[in-house]
Amino acid sequence: MPAHSPPHSAPSAAQPPSSLTVLVSPPWRDYALLDSGHGRKLERYGRVTVVRPEPQAMWAPRRPESEWEAADAIFTGDQDDDGPGRWRTTRKVPETWEMSYGAARFRSRLTNFRHLGVFPEQRAHWDWMADRVKSSGRSEFKVLNLFGYTGVASLVLAAAGAAVTHVDASKKAIGWARESQELSGLEDRPIRWICEDATKFVAREVRRGSTYDGILLDPPKFGRGPKGETWEMFQSLPPLLADLRQLVGPEAGFVVLTAYAIRASALAAHGLMAETFAGLGGAVESGDLALAEEGTGRLLPTSLFSRWVR
């Protein structure tokens, strides 16, 4: 059977969910969504406040414009989530500054692609996965984190007791993540940092007969590997998931997929995940990740997710 061929599935595997789920990430000490509206969001990352474009914020802001204009940094330029732009600052913002979530400590920074090195809406997944690692009662819970970027999820999982294999195609991101491991005092935790194209690494793990107890993947809609390999979400994701199915261990607990800035519904991700992991038991849950505004509780959707859980 070709690696990308869908596995034989039970008749119910492709059935749509009875409802989609909204996973909400509330503010924490070092992060808050302060306001949103008119295609923008006002956030606090540690001690730095920023304004970034957010097309899904179609409502009106609740805070006065003077608070938005007083933000430390305002992102301008390309409106595409993956496009470059620039920051206009109202005061001197440090090149990096420290943030933390639980045992994970990391440095945030302004990047040309509007990101700040951490995706706060992923908190809902961090907590959920860490709870599953802790409740497994196992001395070794192996987790594969693909497209791991700056490694906050890897640090949270390692602190919970997981043995993490972190894969990303960017040497810069891997370096950023390793610095965060040292900053967190987690150097003694088993984290393998691997700079490689995710699809090639997974294919090699399949040939080796490797298995994992948990898998997390947060792929871009488009990207390139360290040797020019091309990733395109709609063409590349199905064969990658088919390979990942072969890495699901006999006692595996979860496979978590998130996707940003693509013209697709959570229903599409749900159908693919349900088809791919049919026959392994468990269930597939899909929906939106959302941030809760501080003080109002208004929800701002950020990405879609789908996760298989045994």
- What is the pLDDT confidence band of residue 47, given thresholds at 50, 70 and 90? very high
- Res. 67 pLDDT band, cuts 50 70 90: very high
233-245 helix and 198-208 helix, angle to the nearest 10 degrees: 20
> Average of pLDDT values for 115-121?
94
- Write out pLDDT tens, residues 69-79: 999 999 986 54
The CATH classification number of 117-309 equals: 3.40.50.150
User: What class has domain 28-108?
Assistant: mainly beta
Per-residue pLDDT, averaged over 130-154, amounts to 94
The number of beta carbons lying within 10 Å of the beta carbon of residue 220 is 18
> Residues of the chain with pLDDT > 90: what percent?
80
What lies within 8 Å, CB to CB, of 190 at 6+ separation is 158, 163, 164
Residue 261, CB-side half-sphere exposure with 13 Å CA sphere: 15
pTM: 0.89
Average pLDDT over residues 179-189: 96
Residue 4 confidence (pLDDT):
45
CA distance 278 to 141: 23
Q: Which has the closest alpha carbon to 140: 284, 253, 218?
A: 253
Residue 6: pLDDT over 60 = no
What is the Cα 102 distance to its own chain's centre? Answer: 17
Domain layout of the chain by residue ranges? 28-108, 117-309
pLDDT at 84: 57
303: closest CA among 266, 246, 268, 260? 260
